[in-house]
Amino acid sequence: MAAFTCFMAQTKRRKMMARAYQKRMLWAAASLVVLALIAFFVVQALRDNLVFFYTTTQVADGTAAGQKHLRIGGMVQAGSLKRSTNGVDISFNLSDGQTTIPVIYQGSLPDLFKEGKGAVADGSWDGKLFHATTILAKHDENYMPPGMEGAMPNGANQEPQSMPSLQQ
């Protein structure tokens, strides 16, 4: 009888352990499903909001085909900047040195936007014209805002020639 009682206790313990194991596995599976759903929704949201940077050559040769929203960069061609009489409609050409793309834009341009300088345009490509929604002007690392040239001490924006040695 004692052996039977011991056997029953072991069986009961095994059933309880099996139920606990099943519960843990169920929670683990449910957690994996929830994580997979979260990852799926994050990827879907990012895919709709990604903006890829292309050169004008890539846009013209079709590398960017199928993209709804593009960002293109290049140099503003000299003599291509034209403003309408109302001053809001602007057209210019962007070039990467190989291919030129005509860009149209409505709005005010950044202060640093000039012919012969770098620019980045966000918008869409219809196969003939790039319809820009945003224009960004590029500048080099030596950029100084207007009016700040005289405010900085001489040589303040230059790199130091050499660091003094700490060893004596």
Which residues define the annotated binding site? 139, 143
Residues annotated in a binding site for heme: 139, 143
Q: Phi, psi at residue 57, to the nearest 5°? A: -65, -45
Q: Phi, psi at residue 52, to the nearest 5°? A: -95, 145
> What's the 3-state SS for the chain?
CHHHHHHHHHHHHHHHHHHHHHHHHHHHHHHHHHHHHHHHHHHHHHHHHCCEEEEHHHHHCCCCCCCCCEEEEEEECCCCCEECCCCCEEEEEEECCCCEEEEEEECCCCCCCCCCCEEEEEEEECCCCEEEEEEEECCCCCCCCCCCCCCCCCCCCCCCCCCCCCCC
